[in-house]
Amino acid sequence: MTTPRHAPVLLDRVVALLAPALEAPGSVYVDCTLGLGGHSEAVLERLPNARVIGIDRDPAALQMSRERLAAHGERFTAVHAVYDELPEVVGSLGLDHVDAVFFDLGVSSMQLDVRERGFAYAEDAPLDMRMDPTTGRTAAELLNTATAQELTRILREYGEEKFASRIAREVVRRRESTPFTTSADLVELLYATIPAPARRTGGHPAKRTFQALRMAVNDELAVLRRAIPASIEAIGVGGRVVVESYHSLEDRLVKRAFADATRLDVPPDLPFVPEGAEPALRLVTRGAEQADDHEIAENPRAASVRLRAVERVLPSSSSPSSPGAAR
């Protein structure tokens, strides 16, 4: 099987953020969105003390990554799971903590490039959009069964689509005679439904709808809402969680979780911080970091990235007190 070679977003910066947590022999890094393994490959090559656990819900991505990273032998372990199952994955491998966790959110380049997966509006293909094609309902099933009210909410919340209610009504009307099966069916409806002036601005008129359906089909925000706190709990002292987001809703969720974890919970006028009141984590990045013009020119996917990182400085009730503690 040929493994495509797409450029991972902000690769050097991500590895630099992870490196301090992965210097000790036997340190463990969890790539929660393994994809084609680009970030994990860099960690394995540049941080020789790190062991890598790669999680992905997509069996095809896991197979490609296993082949790509096979030369690293037992330093790499691939696991078929959804990333909110992080605690179960870590526990099943006999670990009581890890040293770094990474998320590269959204759809992978490989999924977009494989026409049959139905993620790309530029190609006519079955409307699937499942990241794990072995389970769950497809985008076509969602379009053909959801109420107009539910479709409106999905398009408005996940796609920030101004014409959500209009699109939803038209979907319900058309499916009564012809159920949706392919991406071309949906793209045709969107061109006919979205007013011409709106189609001429803001990119392809199908972009927001396809994004919204993908997020709904894969329950992405709910999974992320569980996964970020789980990743924070999983790291030991000195451990880091690094997240790349590409959607405002994702980034807002990550920002809020990191803010809660690093907040100093004492009255603002208190002249000192009582012992035991210090936050257990600190922000490593100042706000959200973005790609520069050079990176965006080299890798257009980087245009919307928002990068955030936190580090554990104090143990939690279930975290070891120091890096390298017994696992």
**Cα(244)–Cα(59) distance, integer angstroms:** 22
The residues facing 312 across adjacent strands are: 281
Confirm or deny that 276 is annotated as ligand binding. no
Confirm or deny that 111 is annotated as ligand binding. yes
Structure tokens at 208: 């927001």
Confirm or deny that 56 is annotated as ligand binding. yes
11: closest CA among 51, 40, 48, 52?
40
Confirm or deny that 211 is annotated as ligand binding. no
Confirm or deny that 290 is annotated as ligand binding. no
| Residues contacting 194, CB < 8 A, separation 6+ | 163, 166, 167, 205
Confirm or deny that 38 is annotated as ligand binding. yes
Confirm or deny that 136 is annotated as ligand binding. no
**Cα(54)–Cα(83) distance, integer angstroms:** 10
| Annotated binding residues for S-adenosyl-L-methionine | 37-39, 56, 83, 104, 111
Please state the residue numbers annotated as binding site.
Answer: 37-39, 56, 83, 104, 111
